[in-house]
Structure 1
Amino acid sequence: MHDRKVRLTSGEIASLWTAYMNNSMSKYILKFMLKYIEDQDIKPIIQKTYNNASKSMEDLASIFENEQYAIPNGFTEKDVNMNASWLFSDTFCLTYVNHMAKVGMIAYSGFISMSNREDICDFFSIGLTETNNTYNESLKLALYKGISARHPFIETPKHTDYVDSKKYLSGLNPFSDKRPVNAVEISHLYMNILTNAVGAKLCLAFAQTSTNKDVQDYMLRGKEISQKHMKIFVDTLMKDNVDVPQVPNVTISNSTTPTFSDKLIMFHMNLIISSGTGNYSTAASASQRSDLMVNYERLSFEVMRLAKSGADIMIKYSWLEQPPGIKDREKLAKNKEKN
């Protein structure tokens, strides 16, 4: 039974707010994509994803109203120029939805783990199921069309083994041989190559369509960092003679027409960066070769500095919507004393 008399916890408030902001942003990215998609196999998946985002926003608004919870501003029709020229190829749209579904599955899993109330858990569980379906459908179509690269192939293990030396964990000493990367490390290296490829294309698309110099410079810096990180991961695999499959041809047009608001694209990049930082942390904890762990930590710091400069830009132009929080009790007390 759904007990709506139970107050929302801080975890549920945070999760609902984040879900609304993310779906709000996705809705208008997808709406623009739908206008120009010609591939009749890809369009239904984009349409379904758009419908899910729109429905989620409606359901969230209903929850907010029932809880007397201020509905976030998020994004509106004003944040997308539907008259702008086409920007993303059909292939990019499919790859984008597949990539964002990965981000969404992680997010919804986190929301569920931070929720207690039955109706809120049910809502996020439905979101997770829909996002998982989107991922599976987009992956299946990409494989069918030959536009989705698989992870590198390695020899299937014929027996089990145990680590017999601490040298297995080493990798920082330039004068000693490193062991070859293992399957777990390969999978994370390649996953981070793919995510950086999508991120670099998004940065370029946003840079060429923004009219704000601060945003343009920020996006170009983000593109350079993504390409730099891709090269580091590719070189690591190639040093061990691991073939790196070609990443999908996620092309964008040469349009310079303002398409999305600077507020939306800066929020989007913040979401991408947060996801990327999480990927690096997971990869670092899963990798057993010390040089890989150090690399992920070093690159994470570079990404966090980029995120900080992005937040500074958003604050400068009043684009950073503040998450729900608690009152500063000391400030309230001091103001009371003054009165």
Structure 2
Amino acid sequence: MNENNVHLTSGEIASLWTAYMNDSMSKCILDFMLKHIEDQDIKPIIQQAHDISMKHMEQLTAIFESEQFAIPNGFTEQDVNMNAPWLFTDVFCLTYVNHMAKVGMLAYSGFVSMSARQDITSYFSKGLAETNQLFQDSLKIALQKGTNARHPYIEVPKRVEYVDSKKYLSGLNPLSNKRPLNSVEISHLYMNIITNSTGIKLCLAFAQTSPTKDVQDFMIRGKDISQKHIKIFVDTLLKDDIEAPHVPDVGVSESTASTFSDKLMMFHMSLLISSGIGNYSTAGSASQRSDLMVNYERLSFEVARLAKSGADIMIQNNWLEQPPGVKDREKLARSEEKS
């Protein structure tokens, strides 16, 4: 049997649907950036990201049509006001693409692992490679322009050591000294500071350009939570005399003109929130000091509550497109009885 005639699995359907939604959103953001960006060193990276999203949407549409798979509505030119004033600094655009490439690599690796059919795994594997290349290229430009926030330097280990006491895992007792952070813990704290910093700027941009009070309030709440989390992570680093990241100028303009639809902005934030919860879960499981584990668990719960309130807003306004799923068999049965 031709493998392409094999029915798509639930994992493949979920991955294809999610990939289309993400790419259609990205295209809208990148369309706007391309129209306004002036830095000729950064513009090719934005174009590269845009071309990837465009190609992916075309390939996904072809798969949907061959499988008689309803093409998601996703996001279109109706979700971006191309005539709105410039909203972001050029450096923000570079930082944004670099950050979203990281999110994309995590997503594509998950899509590959959830797929089995050769043509589908091949598509997602190529997508992972393209997203990785985008990350590498955007990082190269950021390094050249001095806008990349580097992780802190620590001494290279000269010998192998083993944990010789359970105290290594402690950290909750306020009356005892906490051991210094290890390199794994430092890296996750640092990365979560960077991702929250990007989230703050997006929240500000979306809050000041949304015409809807519920969306404005949600974005401001998201900004406040990110600022609170950054302070916790920075304070943890500073206790061991580790400098906080020097985040580049990733500011937004003073424009208050409606730029992106509320539907797109809320979807975008839900994507970033999901990614953030995943980052916290990974950081918590990788950290060996108990106070760090508890912090990540507590902060994840706070972010999850934000996600729930965002979903409520999207449902109330009919902005939340439903992923493909199993039919309600009991409901179908009752319908048959009525007929």
Q: How would you bin the TM-score normalised by the shorter chain?
A: over 0.9
Aligned counterparts of 2:248 and 2:312: Cα–Cα separation in 1: 33
For 2:262 and 2:159, how far apart are their aligned partners in 1?
54
Match of 1:184 in 2: 184
Q: Say which SS state the counterpart of residue 4 (structure 1) adopts.
A: helix
Task: Name the CA distance, whole Å, in 1 between partners of 2:234 and 2:99.
Answer: 19
Structure 1 match to 2:326: 326
1: CA distance, partners of 2:247 / 2:253:
18
Q: 1:2 to 1:255 in 2, by over 3 A?
A: farther
Distance 2:244 2:327 in 1: 51
**What is the one-letter code of the residue matched to 1:144?**
Q
Q: Distance in 2 between matches of 1:273 and 1:38?
A: 30
In structure 2, the residue matched to 1:118 is: 118
- CA offsets per residue over residues 183-215 of structure 1, 9 Å max, x none? 000000000000000000000000000000000
Q: Amino acid of the residue matched to residue 315 of structure 2?
A: I
TM-score, structure 1 as length reference = 0.99
- In the aligned structure 1, how far is the partner of 2:234 from the partner of 2:263? 33
CA–CA distance in 1 between the matches of 2:72 and 2:103? Answer: 21
* Cα RMSD after superposing both structures: 0.9
Residue aligning to 2:197: 197
Q: Is 2:256 the partner of 1:251?
A: no
Aligned to 2:152: 152
Within a 5 Å distance, the mapping from 1:160-309 to structure 2 comes to 160-309=160-309
Write the deviation string for residues 37-82 of structure 1: whole angstroms up to 9, x where unpaired.
1111100010011011011001100000000000000000000000
CA distance, structure 2, for counterparts of residue 249 and residue 154 of structure 1: 25
Query: What is the identity, as a one-letter code, of the residue corresponding to 2:144?
Result: Y
Q: C-alpha offsets along residues 244-295 of structure 1, whole Å, 9 cap, x if unaligned?
A: 2311211110000000000000000000000000000000000000000000
The amino acid that maps onto 1:270 is S
Q: Distance in 2 between matches of 1:244 and 1:235?
A: 9
- Matching residue of 1:310: 310
1:91 aligned to 2:57? no
Structure 2 residue matching 1:73: 3-state secondary structure: coil
Name the TM-score, length of structure 2 as normaliser: 0.99
**Residue 273 of structure 1 aligns to which amino acid in structure 2?**
I
**1:46 aligned partner, one-letter code:** I
| Deviation of 1:3 (Å) | 2.2
Work out the CA distance in 2 between the residues paired with 1:300 and 1:241.
26
Counterpart residue number, 2:66: 66
Deviation >6 Å, runs of 4+: none
* Structure 1 residue 2 displacement after superposition: 6.2
Structure 2 gaps of 5+ residues are none
Q: Give, in whole Å, the separation in 2 of the partners of 1:2 and 1:143.
A: 47
Write the mapping of 1:17-166 to structure 2, written as runs, cut at 5 A: 17-166=17-166
Q: State the Cα deviation string for residues 304-333 of structure 1 (Å, max 9, x = none).
A: 000000000000000000000011112212
Gaps of 5+ in 1: none
What one-letter code is carried by the residue in structure 2 that aligns with 1:71? Answer: I
> What is the distance in 2 between the residues matched to 1:90 and 1:321?
31
Q: Compute the displacement of 1:335 (Å).
A: 2.5
Q: Distance in 1 between matches of 2:270 and 2:124?
A: 22
Judge conservation of contact 2:234–2:244 (CA < 8 Å) in 1.
Answer: yes
Q: Say whether the 8 Å CA contact 1:2–1:119 is kept in structure 2.
A: no
* 8 A contact 2:209–2:257 mirrored in 1: yes
Aligned residues of 2:27 and 2:50 also touching (Cα < 8 A): yes
- Which SS does the other structure have where 1:51 is aligned? helix
Q: Distance in 2 between matches of 1:182 and 1:281?
A: 18
The DSSP-based 3-state class of the residue aligned with 1:265 is helix
The answer (yes or no) to whether the contact 1:3–1:117 under 8 Å persists in 2 is yes
Q: Is the CA contact 2:109–2:128 (under 8 Å) kept in the aligned structure 1?
A: yes
* Partner secondary structure for residue 4 of structure 2: coil
The alignment-based identity, stated in percent, is 74
Task: Please give the alpha-carbon distance, in whole angstroms, between the structure 2 residues aligned to 1:154 and 1:286.
Answer: 18
Per the TM alignment, residue 336 of structure 1 is displaced from its structure 2 partner at its CA by 2.1
**In structure 2, do the counterparts of structure 1 residues 200 and 2 end up closer, same or farther at CA, with 3 Å as the change threshold?**
farther
Aligned residues: 339
- Preserved CA contact (<8 Å) 1:2 1:118: no
Report which stretch shifted further, 59-68 or 240-249: 240-249
